[in-house]
Amino acid sequence: MARLADRQAFEHYAAQAQARWERLWAGDHWIISVGISECSIAKGALETYRHLELLLAQEGIPATLRRVGCAGWCFAEPFVEVRAPGAPPVVYGNITTDRVPELVHALKRGGVKTEWALGVRADEPFAGVQPLSQHPFLARQRRLLFADAGVIDPESIDDYIARGGYRAFLKALFEMTPEEVVAEVKASNLRGRGGAGFPAGIKWESGRRTQAWPKYVVVNSHEGEPNVFKDRRLLETNPHLVLEGLLIGCYALETPHGYNYIGGEHALAVKRFQEAVRQAYELGLLGDNILGTGFSCHIRVRTGGGAYICGEGSALMYAIMGQRGQPRTKPPRSVEEGLWKRPTVLNNTETFASVPSIVLNGGAWYASLGTEQSSGTKLVTIQGPVKRLGVAEIEMGMTMRELIFEVFGGMREGYRFKGVQTGGVSAGPLREDQLDVPVDFDSMTELGGMLGSGGFVVFDESVCAVDFARYLTAFNRYESCSKCNPCRLGNPALVEILDRVRNGYGRPQDLDIIREASKHIIELSLCGLGQVAPMPLLGMMKAFPEEFDAHIREKRCPANVCPISEAALATVGDD
């Protein structure tokens, strides 16, 4: 394919892509789409796809079979969307291979398999199936980044362009100066989605101000936390959206050097992003002299090797440079001295993905979404025994209670809510009586919680607060890069004390020792890992003091998880 030479060539190409898309959906033939993501593959989506292919041929249903990305509803994977001639598309959930024959037979008879349907993509009910937008998982969501999730084929740049993709990049490139792009991002009040919530526009502005070249723009798709899986889903389901955000970032910084650093474990995300980059080169949206403007941009994909610390900004840059990923002291900040000692703007995957809509619709529009201090939408994941596990996109400001019990459907049968761990391994939990707090950057902080990257872990009565605290502390101990002593020595000490408590040898003064040691770790550690490593433990102690007490004074684990030893039991009441 020839590279597009100028704006007109792009417009022409986009019009064709759009016409093809419209023809596809014109309504006169069968279209069957299967969601293929890491998560659906694990549940057998590829088998479902192959089985469908076979049976459709056998039954003589002349359908276009498509692969689309994930739509965030893990609980309904594998999903299959069926558009019969003259009917609106119906989405079916949990179509494992054993259900394929029955589904195909129903279709053959011209029927709708109502009981398996999640919803219909239409404003009105169809054949007894409610509109998908009214499904309880989706009704309260506001999807910008996930708007086309499960609709487009992530491996097709044409699909993306047909749905309006790369229009924001073209707008920036042809109608805006780099300064104007930064001004819109600033006006949007978009705050970093990787955890800290620093305003992206201000970071971009600092990056522009530093007078040293070359400059670099880097996407942080490392996602090594144990509590979240949103960035890889974004890359799996709409990789061009992230790439477009990155391109706009490069334009704003006036640099031809962009990177995406992706956790090596996220194989499908890596593959799809690489494919997106290849397609963009082929079309001339990447490379030299893009669309004849003189602006050039080259994107390199680098992968991580399974070290959580490499998600930290300075460590990530060392990792890209082929060094061990260990953080360094700041200043200088990365916008002054980052990758290869040059000014580097680093943002999270979701942050970049939010940029195209800001450029298209304006910063003011984006700022009107969500809350005043936390604008826009947020991808959130909930893990644990909830009914509807998945990735949701909500406007900032929804309460945690609504999120857990309405969007994610509340607890599964047989599980009772005990708490929700927030901020991953960097903050504490919320109890049931604290759930009316809004999900945004600042509200949870007062309660010892944190938005973090938007991954929340719901846990039930079978989980012991002491054991959970040990798990979270042990994570930080294991992932500590060992560069500085407070973190390297402090975290093992905390784990050791917790093990004592778990084994029934805890002493009342241990809680004070924990508080004291934590203070040192928090105040003296070099990087963000150590500086917050004790927070989950302190949070658990604050939220569930009675459980720590039961372990220490009564040598009893109320959840019956901890290995309290017989010998320790014999000492109850001694002190």
Which residues lie near ligand FES (CB under 6 A)?
Answer: 37, 39-40, 70, 72-74, 77, 226, 233, 383, 390-391
Can residue 375 be called a binding residue for ligand FMN (CB under 6 A)?
Answer: no
Q: At residue 262, what is the residue type?
A: I
Binding segment toward ligand SF4, per CB under 6 A, in 115-123, 126-134, 317-325, 482-490: 482-490
The CA distance from 205 to 60, in Å, is 59
Can residue 281 be called a binding residue for other proteins (CB under 8 A)?
Answer: no
Neighbours of 102 (CB within 10 A): 12
Whether residue 187 contacts residue 195, with contact meaning beta carbons closer than 8 Å, is answered with: no
Q: At residue 371, what is the residue type?
A: T
Neighbours of 325 (CB within 10 A): 23
Can residue 174 be called a binding residue for other proteins (CB under 8 A)?
Answer: no
Residue 449 Cβ vs other proteins, minimum distance, rounded to whole Å:
15
The CA distance from 288 to 298, in Å, is 8
Whether residue 37 contacts residue 323, with contact meaning beta carbons closer than 8 Å, is answered with: no
Residue 61 Cβ vs ligand FMN, minimum distance, rounded to whole Å:
44
Q: Which is nearer to ligand FMN, 69 or 313 (CB)?
A: 313
- Helices 545-553 and 465-479 pack at an angle, to 10 degrees, of 100
Residue closest to ligand SF4, measured at CB: 530
8-state DSSP, 141: -
8-state DSSP, 412: P
Neighbours of 85 (CB within 10 A): 13
Can residue 534 be called a binding residue for ligand FMN (CB under 6 A)?
Answer: no
Q: Which is nearer to other proteins, 63 or 74 (CB)?
A: 74
Can residue 264 be called a binding residue for other proteins (CB under 8 A)?
Answer: yes
Can residue 499 be called a binding residue for other proteins (CB under 8 A)?
Answer: no
Can residue 494 be called a binding residue for ligand SF4 (CB under 6 A)?
Answer: no
Q: Which is it for strands 377-383 and 390-395: parallel, antiparallel or unpaired?
A: antiparallel
Cα distances (Å, whole numbers) of residue 397 to 66, 274, 433, 443, 492 = 36, 34, 18, 9, 37
* Sole residue written with tokens 């809680």: 511
Q: Which is nearer to ligand FMN, 205 or 312 (CB)?
A: 312
Can residue 480 be called a binding residue for ligand SF4 (CB under 6 A)?
Answer: yes
Q: Which is nearer to ligand FMN, 51 or 230 (CB)?
A: 230
Site for other proteins in 320-359 (CB under 8 A): 320-325, 340
Q: Which is nearer to other proteins, 342 or 555 (CB)?
A: 342
Binding residue for ligand FMN, selected from 347, 354, 434, 525, defined by CB under 6 A = 347
Can residue 319 be called a binding residue for ligand SF4 (CB under 6 A)?
Answer: no
Binding residue for other proteins, selected from 307, 316, 353, 484, defined by CB under 8 A = 307
The CA distance from 400 to 440, in Å, is 10
The alpha-carbon radius of gyration of the chain (Å, integer) is 25
Q: Which is nearer to ligand FES, 73 or 169 (CB)?
A: 73
The CA distance from 453 to 511, in Å, is 29
Whether residue 568 contacts residue 558, with contact meaning beta carbons closer than 8 Å, is answered with: no
Whose CA is closest to 197, among 329, 373, 73? 373
3-state secondary structure of 142: coil
| Partner whose footprint covers residue 77, from ligand FMN, ligand SF4, other proteins, none (CB < 5 to 8 Å by kind) | other proteins
| Site mask for other proteins (CB under 8 A), range 384-403, x = bound | xx---xx-------------
Whether residue 534 contacts residue 522, with contact meaning beta carbons closer than 8 Å, is answered with: yes
The CA distance from 313 to 315, in Å, is 6
Residue 280 Cβ vs other proteins, minimum distance, rounded to whole Å:
19
Residue 334 Cβ vs ligand SF4, minimum distance, rounded to whole Å:
15
Binding residue for ligand SF4, selected from 63, 465, 529, 550, defined by CB under 6 A = 529
| Partner whose footprint covers residue 72, from ligand FES, ligand SF4, other proteins, none (CB < 5 to 8 Å by kind) | ligand FES
Whether residue 96 contacts residue 48, with contact meaning beta carbons closer than 8 Å, is answered with: yes
Residue closest to ligand FES, measured at CB: 70
Residue 262, beta-bridge partner list: 221, 303
The CA distance from 150 to 69, in Å, is 5
Q: Which is nearer to ligand FES, 249 or 390 (CB)?
A: 390
| Partner whose footprint covers residue 483, from ligand SF4, ligand FES, other proteins, none (CB < 5 to 8 Å by kind) | ligand SF4
User: Rounded to the nearest 10 degrees, how much is the dihedral formed by the CA atoms of 383, 450, 259, 216?
Assistant: 180
| Partner whose footprint covers residue 338, from ligand FES, ligand SF4, ligand FMN, none (CB < 5 to 8 Å by kind) | none
Neighbours of 234 (CB within 10 A): 31
| Site mask for ligand FMN (CB under 6 A), range 284-313, x = bound | ------------------------xx-xxx
Site for other proteins in 31-70 (CB under 8 A): 38-39, 42-44, 47
Whether residue 120 contacts residue 84, with contact meaning beta carbons closer than 8 Å, is answered with: no
Can residue 194 be called a binding residue for ligand FMN (CB under 6 A)?
Answer: yes
* Sole residue written with tokens 């605290």: 469
* Sole residue written with tokens 């910084």: 253
Q: Which is nearer to ligand FMN, 40 or 422 (CB)?
A: 422
- Sign, CA dihedral 491-492-494-499, equals positive
* Residue numbers at the binding site for other proteins (CB under 8 A): 38-39, 42-44, 47, 74-75, 77, 96-97, 223-229, 232-233, 263-266, 300, 302-308, 319-325, 340, 381, 383-385, 389-390, 421, 424, 455, 457-460, 463, 467-468, 471, 475, 478-479
* Residue numbers at the binding site for ligand FMN (CB under 6 A): 192-196, 198, 200, 220, 222-224, 308-309, 311-313, 346-348, 351, 527-529
* Residue numbers at the binding site for ligand SF4 (CB under 6 A): 309, 326-327, 480-484, 487-488, 525-527, 529-530
